[in-house]
Each structure stands twice: as C-alpha cells, then as structure tokens.
Amino acid sequence: MAPGSPSERDADDARDAPHASKTQDLDWTESQRGSRFAFRRKQLASAAGGRELGCSLYEVPPGKRPWPTHYHEGNEEALYVLSGSGTLHTRDGAADIELLADTYVTLPAGADYVRQVENDGDEPLRYLAISTMNHPDVTVYPDSDKVGVFCGSAPGGESSDRTLHGYFPRDATVGYWDDEPTDEE
C-alpha cells in the first residue's frame, strides 16, 4: 500500500474516528450482594473504546443500593438520572440529594464527597454514571474503614489490565523500612 493512498488513509481514519455504542446492543451485567445491594450495568464507554472517561448505564431495583458508601481519591464522578427516584446519601446526611429524572450531580474526588446511591422509590432507578478513569486510584470505604487500591486500570475499567488491585483495612500500616533487607548478608 502506497503511503497516503486512499486505503491507508481509511485505515488511519478508522483508528482515530469516534466510536459509538448503543445500549440496545450491550448485555446487562448484574450484581447482587446480600439483601441490600443490587444493580444492572451496561459499560457504554468501554464498549465505545473510551480511554480517559468512563460512562455506564445503571439500573438499581427499588430498595437497593449499587455500592457501599465510598469516595475516590483520584477520580471524579457524575450522575445523570434518566428515570426513577432515589437519594444520594452523603457521609453525614446533611447534604443528601434527591435524585429525580433530569438531575445531574457532580462528585469530585476527595473525602468531602462521600457518596452512596439508594433507590428509595417504587420503580427502578436508571442513571448514567460518568467518571474520569485515572489510575492509580484509592477508593475509601468509611463504613467498613477499608481502602481499595487500583493500579493499571481505574475502578470501572478493565480488571484484567490491573497491575495491582486489593482491599485493605485502613489502619493496616507498616513502617517504611519494615521487612526490608537493610544489612548485607
């Protein structure tokens, strides 16, 4: 193929062109933990080849929550409610937000933005969850006093791309030099 030929330009354009995903073409993944947590999810950004910005369609049944109370140290999130109703709970409850159709909520990184979605309505709560896909990220879970560490792929990204991923008690600390070989043998 000659450089700059129509076939070569078409191949280059296909690599750089925007990509799309349609919710109707994607399968739901489902998650349920105990009687409190359940959701269905379609990873829209991943299906469309997104790299720096994630977007998933969530559907949470009445009376359920998708995730434990948490916040991210490295990623900002946003929610856009499509249908249903619910509450975005904050850590102290003083800034809880009613989630109704056409509500958009920003959730910057950091401890000031502790969050948990709850469907306290009578029908499924459907919303788009949008996030930056920065890694590494540390996700903090204040109710259980643990942290999650994500390297190689952000939370919500491809878990197979992670080089380090784990959950640890928040107070599981060791000294910098603990267990390091400090003397020659």
pLDDT of residue 17 exceeding 80, the answer is no
According to DSSP, the β-strands at 97-100 and 37-43 are: unpaired
Average pLDDT over residues 117-139: 94
Highest mean pLDDT among 1-5, 25-29, 44-48, 89-93: 25-29
**Beta strands at 116-118 and 104-107: parallel, antiparallel or unpaired:** unpaired
Walk me through the domains of the chain, giving residue ranges and CATH numbers: 21-134 (2.60.120.10)
Q: Could you report the per-residue pLDDT of 34-73, keeping only the tens digit for each? A: 999 999 999 999 888 888 899 999 999 999 999 999 999 9
pLDDT band (50, 70, 90) for residue 21? confident
Section 28-34 average pLDDT: 96
CA distance linking residue 58 with residue 66, whole number of Å: 8
Q: Which residue has the tokens 């030099």?
A: 177
Pairwise pLDDT comparison (103 vs 13), residue with the higher score: 103
For 13-50, letters b (16+ CB in 10 Å) and e give eeeeeeeebeeeebeeeeeeeeeeebbbbbbbbbbeeb
pLDDT of residue 143 exceeding 90, the answer is: yes
